[in-house]
């Protein structure tokens, strides 16, 4: 099943899990709308052929949801009964930390085997360098920021571009460096309003007539990106300021080759772990290897941003 916010690569992961099951002569069942579908018994039998033509599709054919009912004991009981009734022996959850938290609680209560595949554009999961959809989202953001720069430089404007990342700055930092942003604001490193103003003034003195500031959704340098823009406009009247919030377009679209390959590898590993009687794990990428991390550790651990990239970003804004 897929759960939480959708991300590009989820379909490729579904395809991989189903085809790996078929390869090992294991039956597979898709659960619609994540934990909510589990509670409602919304299941579909999947075969190697029923997942054809989806590796290149964004979103998720199984649909997704954030289920409030699964947070209740009663909801989880219904879910368990449905799994047993349908002869389901294990569940592969493709999602983010909220989905894995649900999986851990469910396992503690019912001892039901769960394997997690990290799927979120935010990349904020411990135990993997990349989550499914992150790479695609980065490419989407860079393409959008390149376009915004055309207007920024034609009109000598300062643009604040908000990218997704509720609690994490991975998208902002990497897309910011990739798109050559003059400043990057992320929740992991609070630059502060005054330092940001100083940095923009410095860019101006260095001869830059336009600027792009990439702001992570979760950044709190200002109250929000609009307040931030207002503050800068009031304090730096030289700049004509605009705001662009990229929003959900970052979550859609055909997955990049990187995400498709990663999804295929993670799906195979997820099924093979279960066949090996290994459970309560999350599969992830470390260097060029697919590894398994304790699901609980994946939730509790912190995936830290690359501080080297922060330094690179600083040097690039010279």
Catalytic: which of 6, 122, 135, 219? 122
Cα–Cα distance between 53 and 61 in angstroms, integer? 11
Quick check: helix, strand or coil at residue 257?
Answer: helix
Sign of the dihedral defined by the CA atoms of residues 155, 213, 248, 61, in that order: positive
114-118/281-286 β-pairing: parallel
Min dist. Cβ of residue 100 to ligand F6P (A): 13
Nearest to 274 by CA among 289, 295, 259, 288: 295
- Least CB distance to ligand F6P at residue 176 (A): 15
Half-sphere exposure of 86 (CA within 13 A, CB side): 22
Choosing from 55, 62, 132, 164, the residue that interacts with ligand F6P (CB under 6 A) is 164
Is 187 near ligand F6P (CB under 6 A)? no
Lookup result for tokens 């989880």: 76
Among 120, 203, 280, 317, binds ligand F6P (CB under 6 A): 120
Among 19, 76, 149, 251, the residue binding ligand F6P under the rule CB under 6 A is 251
Closest-CA residue to 145 (of 165, 159, 133)? 159
- Which of 58, 165, 267, 284: binder of ligand F6P (CB under 6 A)? 165
Rounded Cα–Cα distance for residues 273 and 306 (Å) = 30
Helix, strand, coil % in the chain, rounded to nearest 5? 45, 20, 35
Residues of span 25-84 touching ligand F6P by CB under 6 A: none
Distance of alpha carbon 142 from alpha carbon 135, whole angstroms: 11
Q: How far is the CB of 226 from ligand F6P (least distance, A)?
A: 16
Please report how close the Cβ of residue 160 comes to ligand F6P at its closest, in angstroms: 17
- Asked if 127 is part of the footprint of ligand F6P (rule: CB under 6 A), the reply reads no
Smallest gap from Cβ 95 to ligand F6P, in A, equals: 9
Nearer to ligand F6P, 51 or 121 (CB): 121
Task: Name the segment binding ligand F6P (CB under 6 A); options: 39-47, 114-122, 141-149, 152-160.
Answer: 114-122
Q: Please say if 122 is a catalytic residue.
A: yes
**Which residue of 30, 75, 96, 255 would you call a contact of ligand F6P, by CB under 6 A?**
96
162 binds ligand F6P (CB under 6 A): no
Going by their DSSP bridges, the two strands 157-163 and 114-118 should be labelled as unpaired
- State yes or no: residue 5 binds ligand F6P (CB under 6 A): yes
For 210: left if phi > 0, alpha if psi spans -120 to 50, otherwise beta; the answer is: beta
The answer to the question of residue 217 lying near ligand F6P (CB under 6 A) is: yes
Kindly list the residues in this chain that would bind ligand F6P in the complex (CB under 6 A): 5, 96, 120-122, 164-166, 217, 251
Catalytically active residues, by annotation: 122
């Amino acid at each position: 099943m897929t759960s939480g916010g959708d991300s590009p690569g989820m379909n490729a992961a579904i395809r991989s899990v189903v085809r790996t099951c078929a390869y090992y002569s294991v039956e597979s069942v898709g659960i619609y709308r994540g934990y909510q579908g589990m509670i409602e018994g919304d299941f579909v039998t999947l075969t190697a052929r029923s997942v054809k033509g989806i590796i290149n599709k964004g979103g998720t054919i199984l649909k997704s949801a954030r289920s409030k009912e699964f947070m209740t004991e009663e909801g989880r009981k219904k879910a368990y009964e449905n799994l047993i009734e349908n002869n389901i022996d294990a569940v592969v959850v493709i999602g983010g930390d909220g989905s894995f938290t649900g999986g851990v609680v469910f396992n503690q209560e019912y001892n039901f085997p769960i394997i997690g595949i990290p799927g979120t554009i935010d990349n904020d999961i411990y135990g993997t360098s990349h989550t499914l959809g992150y790479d695609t989202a980065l490419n989407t953001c860079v393409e959008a920021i390149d376009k915004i720069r055309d207007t920024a430089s034609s009109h000598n404007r300062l643009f604040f571009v908000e990218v997704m990342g509720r609690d994490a700055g991975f998208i902002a930092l990497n897309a910011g460096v990739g798109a050559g942003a003059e400043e990057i604001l992320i929740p992991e490193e609070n630059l502060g309003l005054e330092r940001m103003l100083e940095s923009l003034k410095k860019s101006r003195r260095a001869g830059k007539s336009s600027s792009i500031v990439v702001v992570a959704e979760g950044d709190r340098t200002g109250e929000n990106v609009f307040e931030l823009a207002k503050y800068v406009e009031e304090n730096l009247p030289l700049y004509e300021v605009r705001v662009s919030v990229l929003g959900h377009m970052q979550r859609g679209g055909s997955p990049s080759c990187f995400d498709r390959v990663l999804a295929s590898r993670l799906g195979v590993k997820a099924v093979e772990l279960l066949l090996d009687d290994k459970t309560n794990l999350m599969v992830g990428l470390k260097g060029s290897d697919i590894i398994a991390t304790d699901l609980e550790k994946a939730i509790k651990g912190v995936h830290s941003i690359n501080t080297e990239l922060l330094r690179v970003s600083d040097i690039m804004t010279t």
